[in-house]
Amino acid sequence: MSDPIQTHDLTGIRCPLPIVKLNQIIADAAPGDVLLVAADDPAFAPDVRAWCRRTGHELIELDQQDGVTSVRLRRSA
């Protein structure tokens, strides 16, 4: 059984809005859902790492290419 995946494009918005939006998105996700999120705000990579540590959501993968940070994370219970 594969994990449900939701994709969200947060490019074009600046700090702190990518994390604010991510917080809203994950609140609507079910525990275990996997989110793919892209943002081009330079602060997104360190912010999402800290946010995952603080909230307990699992950061599965983080990739940065051409000024865009893409993350794959799993919503915790």
Query: Contact at 8 Å (CB) between 73 and 47?
Result: no
Map residue 7 onto helix, strand or coil: strand
Whether omega before 46 lies within 30 degrees of 0, making that bond cis, reads no
15 an active-site residue?
yes
Pick the catalytic residue: 5, 15, 20, 50? 15
- Which residues are tagged catalytic? 15
